[in-house]
Amino acid sequence: MLRIEKLNFAYDDLKVLWDVDLEVNEGEIVTVVGANGAGKTTTLKNISRLEKPGSGTITFEGRDLGRMQPHQVVEMGLVQVPEGRRIFPEMTVMENLRMGSYVKATRPDRQKNLDRVFGLFPRLREREKQLGGTMSGGEQQMLAIARGLMANPRLLVLDEPSLGLSPLFVKNIFDIINGINRQGVTILLVEQNVYQSLRISHRAYVMETGRVVLTGTGDELLANDHVKKAFLGM
Amino acid sequence: MAVFMQSLLSGILIGGVYALIGIGLTLIFGVMRVINFAHGDILMVGMYLTYIAFTWLGIDPFVSVLVTFPLMFLFGGFLQKVFINRVLKAVAQNQILLTIGLGLIMSNTVMLIFTSDYKLISTSYSSSTLKVGGGVSLSTPLLVSFLITATITAALYWFLLKTDTGQAIRATAQDREAATLMGINVKRMSIIAFGLGSALAGTAGALIAPTYYIFPQVGSVFTLKAFVITVLGGMGSVVGAMLGGILIGVTESLSAVYISSGWKDVVVFVLFLLVLLFKPSGLMGKSRT
Ligand SMILES: Nc1ncnc2c1ncn2[C@@H]1O[C@H](COP(=O)(O)OP(=O)(O)O)[C@@H](O)[C@H]1O
Ligand SMILES: [Mg+2]
Q: Are residues A169 and A205 in the same domain?
A: yes
A74 to chain B, closest Cα gap in Å: 5
Neighbours of A184 (CB within 10 A): 9
Q: Are residues A64 and A104 in the same domain?
A: no
Q: Is residue A83 part of a domain?
A: no
Neighbours of B86 (CB within 10 A): 12
Q: What are the CA-CA distances from residue A84 to residues A134, A145, A159, A178, B128 (Å)?
A: 15, 12, 8, 21, 59
| pLDDT score of B125 | 82
- Among the residue ranges B75-84, B92-101, B225-234, B261-270, the one predicted with the least confidence is B261-270
Are A88 and B175 in contact (CB < 8 Å)? Answer: yes
* Cα angle, residue B138 at apex, residues B134 and B141 outer, rounded to 5°: 160
DSSP state of B131: E
A80 touches chain B (CB under 8 A): yes
pLDDT average per 10 residues of sequence, chain A (234 residues): 96 95 97 95 97 95 94 97 96 97 96 95 94 93 96 97 87 92 96 92 95 94 88 76
| pLDDT score of B289 | 39
If pLDDT is split at 50, 70 and 90, which confidence band does B45 have?
very high
What is the average pLDDT across B149-177?
Answer: 96
Final residue of a structural domain among A136, A152, A168: A152
Neighbours of A151 (CB within 10 A): 27
What is the average pLDDT across B194-203?
Answer: 98
Pocket of ligand 1 (CB under 6 A): A 11, 14, 16, 34, 36-42
A74 touches chain B (CB under 8 A): yes
| pLDDT score of A231 | 82
A88 to chain B, closest Cα gap in Å: 6
| C-alpha B185 chain-centroid distance | 26
Residues of B in contact with A92 (CB under 8 A): none
DSSP state of A127: T
Q: Is residue A50 part of a domain?
A: yes
Q: What are the CA-CA distances from residue B3 to residues B6, B129, B138 (Å)?
A: 5, 15, 11
Distance in Å, CA A33 to ligand 2 centroid: 10
Q: Is residue A37 part of a domain?
A: yes
Residues of B in contact with A95 (CB under 8 A): 167
Are B178 and A74 in contact (CB < 8 Å)? Answer: no
| pLDDT score of B99 | 96
Q: Are residues A225 and A159 in the same domain?
A: yes
| pLDDT score of A151 | 96
pLDDT above 70 covers a percentage of chain B that reads 99
Separation CA A177–CA A195 (nearest Å): 15
Are B179 and A99 in contact (CB < 8 Å)? Answer: yes
> For residue A33, which of A193, A199, A228 has the smallest C-alpha distance?
A193
Of A89, A99, A107, the CB nearest to B182: A99
Instruction: Give every CB contact of residue B172 below 8 A, 6+ residues apart in sequence.
Output: B31, B179, B184, B186, B189, B190, B193
If pLDDT is split at 50, 70 and 90, which confidence band does B287 have?
low
Q: Give the ligand with the smallest distance to the CA of A42.
A: 1
Are B182 and A69 in contact (CB < 8 Å)? Answer: no
Q: Check if the beta carbon of residue A195 is closer than 8 Å to that of residue A222.
A: yes
**Residues across chain B:** 289
DSSP state of A121: -
Ligand 1, atom nearest to A39 Cα: 17
Final residue of a structural domain among A152, A177, A203: A152
- Quote the mean pLDDT of chain B: 92
> For residue A29, which of A210, A217, A161 has the smallest C-alpha distance?
A217
Q: Are residues A175 and A206 in the same domain?
A: yes
| C-alpha B28 chain-centroid distance | 11
Q: Are residues A222 and A165 in the same domain?
A: yes
**Count: domains in chain A:** 2
A151 touches chain B (CB under 8 A): yes
* Cα angle, residue B278 at apex, residues B274 and B280 outer, rounded to 5°: 95
Q: Is residue A82 part of a domain?
A: no
**Secondary structure E strands in chain B:** 129-133, 136-139
A147 to chain B, closest Cα gap in Å: 8
Best of B181, B190, B235 to disrupt the A interface (most A CBs within 10 Å) is B181
Q: Is residue A84 part of a domain?
A: no
E strand or H helix at A78: strand A78-81
Separation CA B22–CA B231 (nearest Å): 9
| C-alpha B59 chain-centroid distance | 22
Q: Is residue A135 part of a domain?
A: yes
Which domain covers residue A120, as residue numbers? 89-152
Q: What are the CA-CA distances from residue B60 to residues A124, B5, B73, B110 (Å)?
A: 52, 30, 20, 21
Final residue of a structural domain among A152, A169, A186: A152
- Among the residue ranges A187-196, B68-77, B197-206, B275-284, the one predicted with the least confidence is B275-284
The DSSP result for A17-37, as a single string, is: EEEEEEEE-TT-EEEEEE-TT
Strand partners, A211: A208
Output the domain CATH number for residue A65: 3.40.50.300
Separation CA B45–CA B72 (nearest Å): 8
Ligand 1, atom nearest to A207 Cα: 22
Q: Are residues A67 and A99 in the same domain?
A: no
Q: Are residues A135 and A198 in the same domain?
A: no
Q: Check if the beta carbon of residue B210 is closer than 8 Å to that of residue B55.
A: no
What is the average pLDDT across B31-56?
Answer: 96
The predicted complex's ipTM stands at 0.94
Q: Is the dihedral of CA A75, A81, A87, A92 positive or negative?
A: positive
Separation CA B49–CA B275 (nearest Å): 36
* Cα angle, residue B160 at apex, residues A78 and B282 outer, rounded to 5°: 110
